[in-house]
Amino acid sequence: MASEMALSHRGPHKVLSEAELEEVAQRKPPTKSSLRGCLRKTRCSGSAAKSLLFRFLPFLRWLPRYPVKDWLLGDITSGFSVGIMHLPQGLAYALLAGLPPVTGLYSSFYPVFLYFFFGTSRHNSVEVPSQRSWCSPQATCQHCTLSPGPFAVISVMIGSLTESLLPSENFLESVNGTNVTVNEALRDTARVELVATITVLTGIFQVALGLLQFGFVVTYLSDPLVRGYTTASSVHVLVSQLKNVFGVSVDEHSGPLSLFMTVIDICKKLPKTNVGTLVTAIIAMVAIFIVKELNHKFAAKLPMPIPIELITIIVSTGISYGVNLNDKFGISVVGNIPSGLKPPVPPDITYFGKVAGNAFAIAVVGYAICISLGKIFALKHGYKVDSNQELIALGLCNFLGGFFQCFAISCSMSRSLVQESTGGNSQVAGVIASLVILVTILKIGELFRDLPKAILSAIIIINLKGMFKQFSDL
């Protein structure tokens, strides 16, 4: 019987009639399940509970088998390198989102730390391996080097929403009865509350979609669609930073034509360009671009990429403090960065109705970017991504982070590549990176109050290089 069913690919296939197929295949009658059998399947046994726990907390499976001697040094080196990248990018993307710089540090700490517990970044063999077989060809491993944290596209989506719902015009107040200025402290407080609510709602959407097994939706988010969206967003990011590059103030616009109206306003203000700000931005962009190109060219020879962004921030902050660039040349600086961690604050549910649609869009875009990167690394290292668990992990990072003044996050290609190239093997590297940010928040952050905003804009613009390359897809 088996020989009759065997079909050779070398010869033509035999066409079977329905009667012959019935004789060969012998259709099985449908089985009827009793009520007792159905109830038995829904009963939560010890093994089922353990399997469910390992699914939602993947670190419980791989951490006990973590090869300390083989991986720890690489994870420490990688985590330190990624933490150094998180610092300038967190400050810059907070500026992009229209928020105080310290929220960027919070968003680089809490989500990265939480992802260690919920993300599928682990090495998981089919059978219990020895220490030497973790990365052997015979072991089926999962090796993920995704680095969650602030992302430019998500930040610009949040920034456009904050400017639309809480524009600076709503916080004008008179000084001495004549001059009218924006109460930045009151505005920033209101925007942080709004964005925290958006972040919590984004996390709720992502967790709900993950629990409902909606991870398959990424199948319908084709690569050209995601790349087209991120490329278009990069144009909005670039335009939003031009005011800091030229040192001019422009009106906040929202709506379909806001991009063009912003460009027109900037062009009108070009005669009022602050030369000191422009020179600062140009020098920073040239330096960052050259060193990043050298990092790429000599990646195989360098133990870790030169942290040019951090070096630029430290040097520019020192010069700004020593020369007093703000008072003498009118170069805008980030201002006070409070030290220490804030206690958790519940979201303002009165905003839910206003931001639900935007939060859902941020949830889908953030997940699409994250899972796209995950698939790239999965293909490279030969493992599969649990799309539903990644959706839940990202959602929990956003949901819990929203209580601590974080804005919504995704995964970054640049940080993920650095984490991989510097020896990162697991999300232990993410924990090390989060500790670097924690030290900055507790002890070092307040030292960056004299950092010129033009430097942060320069960092943002240079980091858009990869997105602008996607124009070649047209």
- Write the pLDDT tens digit of every residue in 184-236: 889 999 999 999 999 999 999 999 999 888 877 766 777 787 778 778 888 88
pLDDT exceeds 60 at position 122: no
Q: Are 112 and 149 in contact (CB under 8 A)?
A: yes
What pLDDT is recorded for position 37? 64
Of residues 378 and 427, the one with the higher pLDDT is 427
Does residue 33 fall inside a structural domain? no
- Domain assignment of residue 254, yes or no: yes
- Inter-CA distances, 400 with 106, 345, 404, 438, 440, Å: 12, 10, 7, 17, 21
Whether 345 has a pLDDT exceeding 60, the answer reads: yes
Is 7 exposed, middle or buried, given 0-12, 13-18 or 19+ CB atoms closer than 10 A?
Answer: exposed
Q: What is the mean pLDDT of residues 66-93?
A: 87
Q: Is the pLDDT of residue 466 over 50?
A: yes
Q: Residue 136: is its pLDDT beyond 70?
A: no
Q: Is residue 90 part of a domain?
A: yes
342 pLDDT more than 80? yes
Instruction: Classify residue 30: in a domain, yes or no.
Output: no
- What mean pLDDT is reported for the chain? 82
Q: Which residue has the higher pLDDT, 375 or 93?
A: 93
DSSP 391: H
Which of 331, 322, 313, 344 lies closest to 444, judged by CA?
313
The answer to whether residue 438 sits within a structural domain is yes
Residue 140 scores a pLDDT above 60: no
- Mean pLDDT lowest among 35-49, 153-167, 235-249, 339-353: 35-49
398-455 residue pLDDT tens? 999 999 999 999 888 778 777 777 777 788 888 999 999 999 999 888 888 899 999 9
Quote the percentage of the chain above a pLDDT of 90.
Answer: 32
Q: Check pLDDT > 60 for residue 94.
A: yes
What is the count of structural domains for the chain?
A: 1
> Which whole number is the average pLDDT over 354-381?
84
Query: What is the rounded average pLDDT of the residues 28-40?
Result: 65
Q: How many CA atoms lie within 13 A of 1 on its CB side?
A: 7
What pLDDT digit, counting tens, does each position of 282-337 carry?
999 999 999 999 988 888 888 878 888 889 999 999 999 999 999 899 999 988 88
Element (H, E) at 174: strand 172-175
Could you give the CA distance from residue 91 to residue 112 in angstroms, rounded to a whole number?
15
Greater model confidence, 18 or 193: 193
Read off the pLDDT band of 463 (50, 70, 90): confident
Whole-angstrom distance, CA of residue 322 vs CA of residue 319: 5
131-150 average pLDDT score: 50
For residue 263, how many other CB atoms are within 10 A of its CB?
14
Enclosing domain of residue 313: 67-131+138-473
Structure tokens at 388: 């539903």
In order of 15, 22, 31, 196, the CA distances from 27 in angstroms are 18, 6, 12, 57
Percent of the chain whose pLDDT exceeds 70: 85
Q: Which amino acid is at 389?
A: Q
Q: Do 133 and 67 touch, CB atoms closer than 8 A? A: no
Residue 381 or 466, more confident: 466
Token couple for 206: 């992502």
